[in-house]
Structure 1
């Protein structure tokens, strides 16, 4: 058995600097992985170039780590409450508390990326003294014996290396306590005592010393066997800690035995570390130890190798065997390899050793995961091996500062740096924001990390919080819109939603919210008269925006010009116009006055056709709409509205019946009213929700509303949420260019599915399989009665504010009452009541 003192190299720690018994000094950093997922190939090449710069400037002996660990449930909840005053938002506090059990039951994980780089050697005298003291005690020594000048010299060296690498990976110094956390994680990998991930600032204190637990590493798990077999016969290490003997960890170290002879295609065929995610009941870490040689050194070495090959070929010139052909093949490959470095002078040669560490609570669980990984890697034409007898040596490679061992060289591979960069180890499939409510879980990463959508936090950080949703009927669009609306409400914001459903699903949902106002435009209790609704400075212009299209008038000719002149500040004051009814009466008076032209008679006739039909505009007794309620639902189900085709086709729009023109005008007025109310600095977040996106994107007024929310919402704590069946037709202009957060739910129609993925930002020429995933594998209706099984509901594609694209599953509210309110439909509820 191997004891920790032989494997733990740390003699002293000062911040992110590690001093080892051998005298090596390393600087250690958290690495921010680059967004990858479903992004376009051009973006992925940028990621590869960042890795190319990284590998070309790392010093020999550098260690790259990807450590998998459980997320701390409390960390997830703390991200949910950032920027929210829970004393003022009791509903959201209840949501966060209800989220605790749900998040814990999901057991989300994450991957922490680390970089350890050697930055020099400590003075022989100083470190030998430290080592002697350390070996004579049970704890690690603080590096107080080192002078500030020495520490600054090591840090300057590290900064110089990081400067050459660039800032793509945002390296952040680790706290001193990480070394202890990492050691405890390695000892408990995949077992019950495995510590949670330090994903939040302050999770680990900034101590300058660490206490490393003792442990025995039993290669071959001999203690479990009644028959004492040679350890080298079983590629597993049983790690037992004296204080936790009842929680052993069974671990197996894997390493690639060979890579494809013809190379690995990038992107799509070289990212071999991606297949490590999604294994249940085990923890999988990886580490890559690298060394590089410059192109000049490689060329000199190749000349020597070629000379030796030539001598061997001369010696076997008369020999009839396969050896001659083998030597010729080697010479040809060496020539191609040499040419690569001659053409690419900035290249380097990378020697790297990869270790994949699999840990579980039992030997059977660990070995099942090992066999699963071996099968997965066959698809990459990579043979994985678990070297018997070298398990402990390879286990130690993942410890920063470890001395080089023979196994590191035995399982090393050599490739040009541009090929190594295609491995892109520091990447992530994470989507969503850094904080905010949890709206779902990540399905693409394999770790089920919560997806945070900080819709209100984004506005505070000067980012657009607007979002758009697409999907077929019944795919979950309306459910998602209601989810975001109720979260905005619970966090202290307000929302206005336009409900087009005949059953009044938004009205039913709003009844579960205190201080909700329900408005039916066909049976109004409030007025949308723009002359009464808006400030007198802008009321005339807002009225013209709605009235002229409604009356099919041009603003510069005939009756349109008459209306324009009448609604100037001077005209309004002169004719004492305070409402649309006042305007109609003034127009009738002017039409009877001989000194005015026939345009007023035309205008009076046109307005006369709608005065009695639209009390929501012409009844002066109705109070005006006030958007100060926490939730406002405007029902427009009795309004006739044009289709997207009628709005975008000139000859169809010219023949629109009056009822559809009225519907469009009222729909737009609601959006304009929300814009005037929410795009003001009232200190309250406002969300406008429209389930019929084309009415906000295809008309002049609606497009202006969408653009203003998308551009200026971040300045005034506001956002717009739109939904559509066909993004190619409806999400144009501002909805396409300025709305960053995009969600795509199931689309079984091939054309609509293609439009949705292209709107999302996916290049289907590069990833045509995603079309099938969206059509057939996203919330598929495969249950009884062609219903979507409960566990498959809410699956979607998402593009976040950082243009990262991935797949997720919407969870809905954690509070049971909120979940029931947004899930059930009034029709279904009435049917249940009748049955009761």
Structure 2
């Protein structure tokens, strides 16, 4: 194998045949599952970039292997493993699991040749390249490229990139990254070199470094020497059936097969024509290259005019034939006229000759063949024809290397397009999900192979964003399991090496009769405190005793009691209540019992206070209200435990239809008290979250409609989501419907919806709920493909039990950076937590 590179400096390579190329790393947009508006915006950006290119260019997209050890290092980075024993054990189990997976990612590149400033300079470059080749043949050391030439070319590349649209994020490739491209090409599917970090250098100030990458043997149609079965099968196929390339290195043999794009549909529909973005939907990695020849519109029009003249004369060739002129002749003339009209419509329009090639690989020829067959079958159904030219696999291999000449076989399959038509292919659409480090939370569904999704739940406040997350999905869709997995990551990895005394905390409201959150919290690392709300309460939740801040105590107590007593805040009774609370808080030992006495005292001279005192006294005598009105109970201490769970299964709640204004007055006391008590508990959750800004804490409210059904609860949720960033806190809100978290028709609800940076949408078989969920993620609710994905494609139910178990936890995820993609939440590799995580009784058993 002959590497086409003789010298590398910065992001510029000098080739063996006398040309210079510059390479940039392109940041993927992650718009494959975005709204139509986002896709249109990205389409315009790509179209603008293509129009700025001149002559030859290369768009290259590769799938590097991901080292399981690197994933585990990022999982444990910053975590104090000395005091996080269970998390250290989990990291070891994750390492073992990842070793059995084909971990990949996707990285995109743009390469363009740097033109010579004159014919003399071009001749000089060709001469220098030829002289270097001759020197190598004679066993001499070739003259290096001068430092002055390096500097000039790097500046030329910088100036060229400055003319491109800023909407496409580009970074100059490093020398290490360029060397990696050639190493990856030779070792696909075996022990690949790891993609270097963008700031990782080669370790040398100046030098070549590419010679060793040529230690590769290419053999077209070769079969494994030790596999008699493969050899017999290959012989049976004959030379015409063996369309692969054996790439042999000291690390093993890779079997690669290349498919050229031979035919495309005559018309494109956008969205829907993004066939390059669709490559991430396969279960295996696919590398691809698009070599372009971009011609200005004026030049293309002159060539098209000659072709139009030839087509205009073709009907005369069919004179005298009874069948007349074939329809394709007229169609070709009409297409040519449309092309000429489009290419001259704008001075910036260009003609793009696109030459596309895909590459798949395997450890055996059969594996590579099977993957190639999957690609051909999938795209064949959509009028895209990919072929594997006989005897051309090695040339196509070189065609995917930056700096190599475009093979003639690729030129023969060139597709002539306008800039917009080419941009509709959806290049550079791939993107990662999640954060740079943090616990392993899931696996990205699209992308070929397996892509780990790490999530640092405490990252939001450090990025000046909220740490909150919303989880939406139907019963059994995986929503609650996802919330529990997130809580586990916070509790297990919360202790940081650079923050002495730090920890992760969670305060949870558990309304389930089975106390599933209680059971799960006890199975997580750290200590757990369970506070049961019933007539046998052991601690006091009196807001006048538990909330230390006087202003907050006033506010929360008023909201709680107006809900409990059914009085309007600004009514005479509401004002009387507020005045009494203020007076009690000014005293030495504020409590709800003291408040009852204060109102009774005021009631002797004020009928309004007397009426409020009677109502409050009536409530205080109920056994269910003991946890709030009994002054003998000790005040709950929420400062010590890592996880605090309020078990509220004994609290009754009104049905949704009972919350109508004309029904509230007739509700049973148990439901009135339950509604008010849950608001108070949510307020206490806020106090716990905001208590210590040096501890990251989340409030977990599953099925949160019980909170947002009242204006007071909605206001509390907004406050926690909005102000949590200042206190290193957040909220996990879960519901079947996004309207429960933030009603779209409400101004406050719109704000709440917008303040959740992380959002998860699980299966919704109901079309209406699916559309609402898509709208909650800022996706197009009328996109039929997305609706079908949410209703039938995520964790499908109409499959075998084994497959259903394998696909549990699938969802659409909007991460902290606004990227949207499919992922599958993984259950923590902790046997104790895994046994307690399921809500389904059958699975929990």
Task: Work out whether the TM-score is over 0.5.
Answer: yes
Structure-2 separation of matches of 1:618 and 1:588: 15
SS in 2 for 1:411: coil
In 1, Cα distance between equivalents of 2:4 and 2:790: 50
Q: Once the 2 structures are TM-superposed, how far is the Cα of residue 272 of structure 1 from its aligned partner? A: 4.3
Shift in Å, 1:15 = 2.1
Change in 2 beyond 3 A, CA 1:827/1:765 = closer
Question: For residue 348 of structure 1, what is the aligned residue in structure 2?
Answer: 350
Paired with 2:202 and 2:755, the residues of 1 have a C-alpha distance of 39
Is the aligned partner of 1:806 residue 2:821?
yes
- Name the counterpart of 1:239: 246
1:793 CA displacement: 2.2
Deviations 1:109-139 (A, max 9, x none): 1122111111234775577456544664599
Give the aligned partner of residue 48 of structure 1.
43
- Equivalent of 1:761, from 770, 778, 794? 778
- Equivalent residue, structure 2, for 1:540: 554
1:519 has 2:531 as partner:
yes
Matches within 5 A, 1:690-705: 690-705=701-716
Distance in 2 separating the partners of 1:749 and 1:206: 60
Equivalence for 1:163 = 162
Match among 566, 570, 578 for residue 552 of structure 1:
566
Tell me which residue corresponds to 1:778: 794
Residue 674 to residue 324, structure 1, CA distance change in 2 (3 Å): closer
> Does 1:608 pair with 2:603?
no
Distance of 1:827 and 1:31 partners within structure 2: 47
| 1:419 shift after superposition | 0.4
CA distance in 1, matches of 2:311, 2:788: 52
Give the CA deviation at 1:143: 8.7
Question: Residue 288 of structure 2 corresponds to which residue in structure 1?
Answer: 286
Moved more, 609-618 or 199-208: 199-208
Distance 1:507 1:332 in 2: 71
Of 244, 260, 285, the residue aligned with 1:255 is 260
Structure 1 segment 376-391 matched on structure 2, within 5 A: 376-391=378-393
- Match in the other structure for 1:748: 765
Paired with 2:140 and 2:485, the residues of 1 have a C-alpha distance of: 51
Of 72, 75, 85, which aligns to 1:77? 72
For residues 146-188 of structure 1, give each alpha carbon's deviation from its aligned partner in whole angstroms, at most 9, with x where no partner exists.
234x333322322233223223332122221333322222222
Pairwise mapping of residues 404-803 of structure 1 onto structure 2 (< 5 A)? 404-428=406-430, 430-492=432-494, 493-512=504-523, 513-522=525-534, 523-534=536-547, 535-568=549-582, 572-573=585-586, 578-592=590-604, 596-613=605-622, 614-628=625-639, 629-647=641-659, 649-680=660-691, 682-732=693-743, 733=749, 734-767=751-784, 769-781=785-797, 789-803=804-818
1:445-465 superposed Cα distances (whole Å, 9 cap, x missing partner): 333211222211222212222
Kindly tell me: are residues 217 and 806 of structure 1, through their superposed partners in 2, closer, same or farther at Cα, counting changes over 3 Å? same
Name whichever of 9-18 and 402-411 sits farther off.
402-411
- The 1-side partners of 2:168 and 2:486 are apart by 32
Q: Residues 50-449 of structure 1 correspond to what in structure 2 (within 5 A)?
A: 50-121=45-116, 128-129=127-128, 132-133=131-132, 136-137=135-136, 145-148=145-148, 150-190=149-189, 192-198=190-196, 202=200, 208-210=207-209, 211-221=212-222, 233=240, 236-241=243-248, 243=250, 247-261=252-266, 263-272=267-276, 274-275=278-279, 277-280=281-284, 284-310=286-312, 328-428=330-430, 430-449=432-451
Contact 2:584 2:595 in 1 (8 A): no
Q: CA deviation at 1:820?
A: 2.0
- Report the Cα distance in structure 2 between the residues aligned to 1:824 and 1:272, rounded to whole angstroms: 39
Report Cα offsets for 1:516-537 as digits up to 9, x if no partner: 1110121322222111122234
Are the structure 2 counterparts of residues 397 and 16 from structure 1 closer, same or farther at C-alpha, using a change threshold of 3 Å?
same
Q: Which deviates further from its counterpart, 467-476 or 134-143?
A: 134-143
State the alpha-carbon separation in 2 of the partners of residues 141 and 38 from structure 1.
52
Greater alpha carbon shift after TM alignment, 530-539 vs 518-527: 530-539
Q: Distance in 2 between matches of 1:368 and 1:751?
A: 39
In the TM superposition, residue 415 of structure 1 has moved relative to its aligned partner by 0.6
Deviation of the 1:394 alpha carbon: 1.8
Report the Cα distance in structure 2 between the residues aligned to 1:479 and 1:571, rounded to whole angstroms: 44
2-structure distance, mates of 1:796, 1:455: 18
Secondary structure (helix, strand or coil) at the match of 2:81 reads coil
Name whichever of 137-146 and 667-676 sits farther off: 137-146
Relative to 1, partners in 2 of residues 1:499 and 1:311: Cα closer, same or farther, differing over 3 Å?
closer
**Alpha-carbon deviations, 1:528-579, whole Å to 9, x = none?**
21111222343223211211221112233332221122233x6643x65611
- How far apart in 2 are the matches of 1:98 and 1:69? 23
Conserved 8 A contact 2:761-2:813: yes
Q: Distance in 2 between matches of 1:276 and 1:634?
A: 43
Distance 1:183 1:810, change over 3 A: same
**What does the per-residue CA deviation read over 1:292-327, in whole Å, with 9 as the maximum and x for residues that have no partner?**
112222223333333455566678878888678765
Alignment length, in residue pairs? Answer: 810
How does the TM-score come out when normalised to structure 2? 0.88
User: Residues 590 and 660 (structure 1 numbering): CA distance in 2 closer, same or farther, change over 3 Å?
Assistant: same
CA contact 1:459–1:465 (8 Å) conserved in 2: yes
CA 1:518–1:807 in structure 2 vs 1: closer, same or farther (change >3 Å)? same
* Alignment CA distance shift 1:243-1:468 (3 Å): closer
Using a 3 Å threshold, how does the CA distance of structure 1 residues 652 and 203 change in structure 2: closer, same or farther? farther
Q: 1:682 offset after TM fit, Å?
A: 2.4
- Answer yes or no: is the 8 Å Cα contact 2:442–2:823 preserved in 1: yes
Q: Which moved more, 1:422-431 or 1:88-97?
A: 88-97
SS at match of 2:162: helix
The alignment's TM-score, normalised by the length of structure 1, stands at 0.89
Cα deviation for residue 268 of structure 1 reads: 1.0
| 2:279 and 2:447 in contact (8 A); partners too | no
- Aligned partners of 2:311 and 2:802: how far apart in 1? 68
Which is further off, 297-306 or 528-537? 297-306
Partner Cα distance (1:747, 1:386) in 2: 41
Matched residues in 1 for 2:373 and 2:840: separation? Answer: 47
For structure 1, which segment, 503-512 or 48-57, has the greater mean C-alpha deviation from structure 2 after superposition? 503-512
- In structure 2, the CA distance between the partners of 1:328 and 1:127, relative to structure 1 (3 Å rule), is closer
Assess if the C-alpha contact under 8 Å between 1:693 and 1:724 holds in 2. Answer: yes
2:237 and 2:829 map into 1 onto residues whose CA distance is 53
